Amino acid sequence: MLKQVVVAGRQNCIVLLLAILIAMFFVGAGCAKAQGDTYRHLELKLVRAGFSRPMVDRALRSAPPPMFHLVCDTMRTGLGPPSYAHFLAPSEIAAARRFIEDHRYCFQEEKAEYGVDPAVISAILLVETDFGTFTGKTPVLAVFSSFAIMDRKANRDRVWWSLSPQDRKNWGRKAFDKKLIERSAWAYRQLCALFELEETRAMSVASLRGSVMGAIGWPQFLPTSLVKYGVDGNGDGRIDLNEAPDAIFSIANYLRAYGWCQAKTFPQKEAVIFGYNHSTPYVLTVLGIAKRTSEELR
C-alpha cells in the first residue's frame, strides 16, 4: 500500500513537472512572438532591402526585446559633456607608452603601411576602452533595433511619456520627434551594416556586444565603420576588434582615410580626430595624450 502511494506520488510529480515544462514552452513561444511582432515592420524593411529572410528572422527573433529605457536615457536633457581630463594624468600617459612598447612590431608594420602616428592610435585606444578593458556588454543588435523602431509614432510615444515633465518641456514634441526619427535612420544604417557583416564576413551579429550606443571592440567602431575601415591586422582571416593588431590597423586605416598623413598643422590634425569622434574635448585629449606620449618615447 505504502509502495503504491510512493509510486503514485512520483507519477504526480512527473506529471506536474511535464505540465510546468509545457507551460514554460508556450510562455517562451508567446514572448518570442510578441517580440517578433514589435520588430515586424523592421524585419520587413530589412527583407525588402535585400537581406535574406531566414537570417533577419533568426537575428531579430533571438534579439532581446526593444530597450525603451536605453532610448529614453539618451533623450534626457541637462547632462553635462563627458570629462576626459583624467586621461592626461602621468599614470595614463605611462600606460599609453607601455602599450606602444608592448606592440612595437605591430606598430612598425602599421607605420610602414599606413603612416599613422602610433601615439595617436594608442591615445584613442586608451580613451575609448582603456585598451580593451571596457568595451561594453550590451547586445548591439538590440541597441540598433531599439533605435530603428523609433520611426513609429507609437514607439516614440512610449519614450516620450517615460521622460520627466522637465525633459519633455526642454525638448518640445516636434524637436523630440525629429531627433528620434534621425536616430532611427542612423540605427537602420547600422543594422544594415551588421547584416552585411553577417552575410559577407560570416560574423555572428547576434553575439556581438558593445557600448550602449552600439560601438564595438577596443576602438569602439560603429558597424558602418567596421564594414568600411575594419582590417585583419594579424592575418588570421577575420576582423576582430577585440584583438590588439586588428584594432591598431583598423584605427590606422580609419585615420588615413580621414587624411592623417596629409595633416601637418594642429588644426588639420584636430579635424582628422574630430572625424573619429565629434567632440572637441575628446579631440584635444587624444592629441594631448599623443603629444606627451611621444615626448616620453624620445
101 or 236, CB closer to Ca ion? Answer: 236
- DSSP H helical ranges for 75-216: 90-102, 104-113, 118-129, 140-148, 153-160, 165-171, 173-201
Options 101, 157, 236, 295; binder of Ca ion; rule CB under 5 A? 236
Options 109, 232, 270, 296; binder of Ca ion; rule CB under 5 A? 232
Strand (E) positions, 195-245? Answer: 209-210
Region of 66-74, 102-110, 144-152, 225-233 interacting with Ca ion (CB under 5 A)? 225-233
Region of 70-78, 139-147, 209-217, 227-235 interacting with Ca ion (CB under 5 A)? 227-235
162 or 234, CB closer to Ca ion? Answer: 234
Nearest to 283, CA basis, from 296, 295, 267: 267
66 or 223, CB closer to Ca ion? Answer: 223
Alpha carbon distance 203, 49 (integer Å):
19
145 or 250, CB closer to Ca ion? Answer: 250
74 or 234, CB closer to Ca ion? Answer: 234
Options 227, 246, 249, 289; binder of Ca ion; rule CB under 5 A? 246
Closest residue to Ca ion: CB criterion:
232
The distance between the two most distant Cα atoms of the chain, rounded to a whole number of Å, is: 95
Alpha carbon distance 115, 107 (integer Å):
10
Q: Tell me the closest approach of the beta carbon of residue 235 to Ca ion, in angstroms.
A: 7
139 or 217, CB closer to Ca ion? Answer: 217
**Contact call for residue 234 and Ca ion (CB under 5 A):** yes
Q: What cell was used for 218?
A: 577596443
Q: Tell me the closest approach of the beta carbon of residue 236 to Ca ion, in angstroms.
A: 4
CA 124 vs CA 14, 39, 51, 128, 249: distances in Å: 58, 35, 34, 6, 13
Nearest to 195, CA basis, from 23, 53, 30, 22: 53
Alpha carbon distance 123, 76 (integer Å):
29
Site track 12-51 with Ca ion (rule: CB under 5 A), x = hit: ----------------------------------------
What is the binding site for Ca ion (CB under 5 A)? 232, 234, 236, 246
